[in-house]
Amino acid sequence: MNITMEDIHIETIKQLREFLNGSKKLVLRLSTIEEKYSFIDDTVDRLEYGKRKKKEKRVIIRYVKKLTGYKHSQLFRLIERSLVGDLVRKPYVRKTDYHRVYTTSDIKLLEKTDELHLRLNAHATHEIMRREFSIFHHTEFANLSGISVSHIDNLRKRPIYTASWVNGTKPRQVPIGTTMKPEPNNAPGSIRVDTVHQRDVYYINAVDEITQWEVVVCVPVIAESCLLPALQILLDSFPFVIFNFHSDRGSEFINRIVAHLLNKLLINQTKSRSRQCNDNALAETKNGSVIRKNMGYGHMDKKIVATTNTFYQTYFTPYLNFHRPCGYVTETIRDHKGRERNIYGQYTTPYEKLKEVSASQNKNFLKPGQSFEKLDTIAYKMSDNEFATLVREKQNTLFELNISYHKTG
């Protein structure tokens, strides 16, 4: 149904306001662009839009907007054109005389250059093509020698280029370790390992998944000469047998040297899965709540690595495992959307948790020559606060030694 509307009797701003107030619930739209342009041109001339005050212009704009449906920005442009002259729709003419500057053969030359040089950045590629023409006089590069740097990336996105170009960097499967989430089977001995960088030194942090028994070792660099002795100290520091070694996919642990050491000790090696951020979350959480909280973020000198390891083995590791309680999951709740939330209902030390797991399964997980009687003498020789006081004193001594090395250079 077509409705014809004549507004020739609307000549004042007051009449426009009355019309707008009375037609708030009506949706009025002109159908074609020609009708809209003619209506705008007639309204601007008839109501003398150019001579009106600002408030009056707003009423006219509301009126024209209601009948055309145009947005403010487009409506203002059309009104300005109407004030200059007749508002006529500009005919669209498709350009048929365009000229391609860089042809298919040019794109193939670019592709060949990228293949030979393993796809350098656009600046380096531009210089190569300039040299090919200006210095080595290869005329086929005459067109490409004047290309802009930014347009090289545009040509690399063309279907002709992407159809045959294969990036030289290809992912490959490293045959070291098994990509999987480790299964501890409710037995201590499956450790999660990660590294923490503190300027000139690295900390290797290992945490058992079931008991949260934690051992930290300091090394000056991630290299074979330092890594193997440090891993040997780390594995020997656990009182129970280690059967699984899990890390992320970094090269500090996923290499043949570490694999050979673990294989010799009959320890299974696993690595985190892609896009599964929780596979090594336990070690990464301890990096912040233990390493960073105690050692801070300041610069540590390489000269005190040996002193730091002595502090770790003598004071820090016993403090973490015998005197510092950890939270353990006692219940997992699943909401209506399927999301899981862990309830940490138990807080105890890793040593007490180790005794609890051994008693509940009626199994001795300790290494040969190790016993709970020996460990009890360490755990109950001093109270938690007494041992923490000793740890802070030794830690301050370590930091003062580090400062003295900084001052002496």
Q: Report DSSP letters for 124-150, one per residue.
A: HHHHHHHHHHHTT--GGGTTGGG--HH
Does residue 201 sit in the same domain as residue 330?
yes
CA atoms of 200 and 181, how far apart (whole Å)? 32
Say if 45 falls within a structural domain: yes
The mean of the pLDDT values for the chain is 86
pTM surpassing 0.95?
no
Confidence of residue 19 (pLDDT cuts 50, 70, 90): confident
Q: Which tokens belong to 379?
A: 């755990």
Residues in CB range of 98: below 8 A, 6 or more apart: none
pLDDT at 1: 45
Say if 1 falls within a structural domain: no
Say if 67 falls within a structural domain: yes
pLDDT at 166: 58
Does residue 266 sit in the same domain as residue 374?
yes
Q: How do residues 185-214 score in pLDDT, each as one tens digit? A: 889 999 999 999 888 899 999 999 999 999
Identify the three-state secondary structure at position 235.
Answer: helix
pLDDT at 149: 92
Say if 43 falls within a structural domain: yes
Does residue 260 sit in the same domain as residue 398?
yes
Give the range of the structural domain holding residue 124, as residue numbers without chain letter: 104-162
User: CATH code at 363?
Assistant: 3.30.420.10
Indicate the length of the chain as a whole number: 409
Q: How do residues 243-255 score in pLDDT, each as one tens digit? A: 999 998 888 888 8
Does residue 29 sit in the same domain as residue 141?
no
Q: Which tokens belong to 129?
A: 């093509």
Does residue 321 sit in the same domain as residue 196?
yes
Does residue 64 sit in the same domain as residue 193?
no
Classify each residue of 329-359 as buried b or exposed e, where b means 16 or more C-beta atoms within 10 Å of its C-beta: eeeeeeeeeeeeeeeeeeebbbbbbbbebbe
Domains held by the chain: number: 3
Whether the predicted pLDDT of 58 surpasses 80: yes
Confidence of residue 394 (pLDDT cuts 50, 70, 90): very high
Does residue 212 sit in the same domain as residue 135?
no
Least confident of 122-126, 222-226, 350-354, 374-378: 222-226
pLDDT at 179: 85
Which helix (H) or strand (E) element contains residue 340? strand 340-348
Say if 126 falls within a structural domain: yes
Which helix (H) or strand (E) element contains residue 347? strand 340-348
Q: How do residues 26-46 score in pLDDT, each as one tens digit? A: 666 777 888 888 888 888 888
Does residue 149 sit in the same domain as residue 265?
no
pLDDT at 101: 86
Q: How do residues 341-383 score in pLDDT, each as one tens digit? A: 888 888 999 999 999 999 999 998 999 989 999 999 999 999 9
Does residue 149 sit in the same domain as residue 118?
yes
Residues in CB range of 30: below 8 A, 6 or more apart: 36, 39, 67, 68
Q: Which of 84, 117, 133 is the last residue of a domain?
A: 84
Identify the three-state secondary structure at position 201.
Answer: strand
Q: How do residues 90-106 score in pLDDT, each as one tens digit? A: 777 776 656 778 888 99
Whether the predicted pLDDT of 167 surpasses 60: no
Whether the predicted pLDDT of 274 surpasses 90: no
Does residue 399 sit in the same domain as residue 301?
yes
* For range 378-405, the mean pLDDT: 91
Whether the predicted pLDDT of 171 surpasses 70: no
Does residue 386 sit in the same domain as residue 276?
yes
CB under 8 A, 24+ apart: contacts of 362-371: 363/187, 365/187, 365/188, 365/189, 365/240, 365/241, 366/239, 366/240, 367/238, 367/239, 367/240, 367/241, 370/239, 370/240
Confidence of residue 73 (pLDDT cuts 50, 70, 90): confident
CB 234 within 8 A of CB 206: yes
Does residue 73 sit in the same domain as residue 118?
no
Q: Where are the beta strands (DSSP E) in 187-339?
A: 190-198, 201-208, 214-219, 244-247, 268-271, 326-334
In angstroms, the first-to-last Cα distance of the chain is 91
